[in-house]
Amino acid sequence: MNGTIGRMRLLPALVLILPTGCKTFTSVDEACHDKLGGEKHVSQDSAVEAMKRLNCYRRLVKVGRLRVDKPVQEVAEDHVDYMVNLESLDNYVPGTESSENIGFTGVDLNERLQRNDYQGDINGYARWELTPIRWHVNGADNVDYLFPDPWARQIYLQPVLIGGGMDEGQSNSVAEAEAGYVDRWSSYFTLLYHFPTNHPPVVYPRDGQVDIDPSYCDDIVGGALVEYGEIGYPITITMDANDISLISHSLQGPDGEVDTIVHLPGDMSWGFTLHGTIAITPLEPLQPSTEYTFNATVKYDGITHKVDNTYSTAAQNNRPTTFCGGGTTSLARSRVAASRTPIDPSALIDP
């Protein structure tokens, strides 16, 4: 039985790690591709556009593109239906469902996948993100909005995705309406991936990129970067490894070295850890239309790797409007659910 399951999941994994070609893209828009594998399984255009937009970033850094996995998509849609039926999202326990509520399909992701007859690779890991928000833009803009956040980016740039799904829904409960949140949306992005994969480190911004936002604001309640206010665009190095260290690094601009703050894997100031990812953030906004050079030496699982990336900032932020200092306002989003959890064979496979 286990061998059969392994073979069943092998093809999608191979499809996802095929080379993206020799072309080196210099911007997110340039790297976009109109096709999304498994698009027919997605019921909402906004969710399709979100996953396509994610693939723009993945193609830019030359990792395999996301493909929609039908059972995972169905689980994501069922969970959004569950959230929409809640009287309020304020007391929602991230990632879980209660059998006492309408639309219950399983206590957690593993149980929901099992109920949906998902037959996954027993070496796979699950990662999911849930963002209840009090405003909504289209799915592609939501990905652009979240991507600069190192915590979200570590999810989006995992080198080998097995599959995924996404859905969105609007909560119109009486309680929400009375509180003034008539357009309360919930987004549920589910990604299943392999870890580790022996893939080289994935660095963002990538070498030669020309569309980096000059500034960034962490607007997450309790976010690790909220206290710094408006800062420069974060740099991330994502590695498929557990033993990671940053030996040296520097970010050079027109006025010399830029001051940065470093967050390493396991840093709990993020609320959840940066799994396999180092985040290096400039403490001041970068200059627009300016070239920067980033150098670093990292060590992961005994391997030393050097990074030499030169990239340019855009004339202005391309990212959708954020709320600087929003970690203390009613408009702030909450980093409310994330987990990299081994898919337990006993939870997904009937003996």
Q: Identify whether residues 244 and 214 lie together within a single domain.
A: yes
Q: Identify whether residues 169 and 65 lie together within a single domain.
A: yes
Q: Identify whether residues 318 and 341 lie together within a single domain.
A: no
| Residue 34: domain span | 2-135+159-194+335-348
Domain membership of residue 214 (yes or no) is: yes
Contacts of 56 (CB under 8 A, 6+ apart): 28, 29, 31, 32, 33
Q: What is the pLDDT of residue 119?
A: 77
324 pLDDT band, cuts 50/70/90, is low
Bridge partners (DSSP) of residue 133 are 185
Q: Identify whether residues 241 and 190 lie together within a single domain.
A: no
Q: Identify whether residues 169 and 34 lie together within a single domain.
A: yes
Instruction: Name which of 125, 156, 142 is nearest 60 in CA terms.
Output: 156
Quote the tokens at residue 9: 């999941």
Highest mean pLDDT of the ranges 85-94, 104-113, 127-136: 104-113
Q: Identify whether residues 210 and 313 lie together within a single domain.
A: yes
Q: Once rounded to an integer, what is the mean pLDDT over residues 229-258?
A: 94
Domain membership of residue 145 (yes or no) is: no
Look up residue 90 and give its amino acid: D
State residue 282 phi and psi, 5-degree precision: -65, 135
Quote the tokens at residue 333: 């989003």
Domain membership of residue 314 (yes or no) is: yes
Q: Identify whether residues 165 and 233 lie together within a single domain.
A: no
Q: Identify whether residues 173 and 41 lie together within a single domain.
A: yes
Number of domains the chain contains: 2
Asked if pLDDT for residue 140 goes beyond 80, the answer is yes
Quote the tokens at residue 250: 């520097």
Round to whole Å and give the CA distance between 240 and 101. 38
DSSP 87: S
Domain membership of residue 70 (yes or no) is: yes
Give percent of the chain above pLDDT 90: 42
Domain membership of residue 341 (yes or no) is: yes
Domain membership of residue 119 (yes or no) is: yes
330 pLDDT band, cuts 50/70/90, is very low
Domain membership of residue 296 (yes or no) is: yes
Q: Which residue has the higher pLDDT, 190 or 57?
A: 57
Round to whole Å and give the CA distance between 247 and 249. 7
Quote the tokens at residue 233: 């665009």
Q: Identify whether residues 105 and 217 lie together within a single domain.
A: no
Q: Identify whether residues 115 and 20 lie together within a single domain.
A: yes
- Helix/strand/coil (H/E/C) assignment for every residue in 135-149: CCCCHHHHHHHHCCC
Q: Which residue has the higher pLDDT, 20 or 193?
A: 193
Identify the CATH number of the domain in which residue 238 sits: 2.60.40.3780
Quote the tokens at residue 76: 């994501």
State residue 132 phi and psi, 5-degree precision: -70, 125
Q: Once rounded to an integer, what is the mean pLDDT over residues 300-328?
A: 82
Round to whole Å and give the CA distance between 29 and 49. 13
Q: What is the pLDDT of residue 337?
A: 40
Name residue, tokens 């039908």. 70
118 pLDDT band, cuts 50/70/90, is confident
Burial of 201-210, coded b for 16+ CB within 10 Å and e otherwise, reads: bbbbbbeebe
Asked if pLDDT for residue 146 goes beyond 60, the answer is yes
DSSP 26-64: SSTGGG--S--TTGGG---HHHHHHHHHHHHHHHHTT-P
Q: 259-277, pLDDT tens digit by residue?
A: 999 999 888 777 667 878 9
Q: Identify the burial level of 21 via C-beta atoms within 10 angstroms of its C-beta, where 0-12 means exposed, 13-18 middle and 19 or more buried.
A: exposed
Q: Identify whether residues 259 and 126 lie together within a single domain.
A: no
Domain membership of residue 264 (yes or no) is: yes
Q: What is the pLDDT of residue 343?
A: 40
Q: Identify whether residues 79 and 226 lie together within a single domain.
A: no
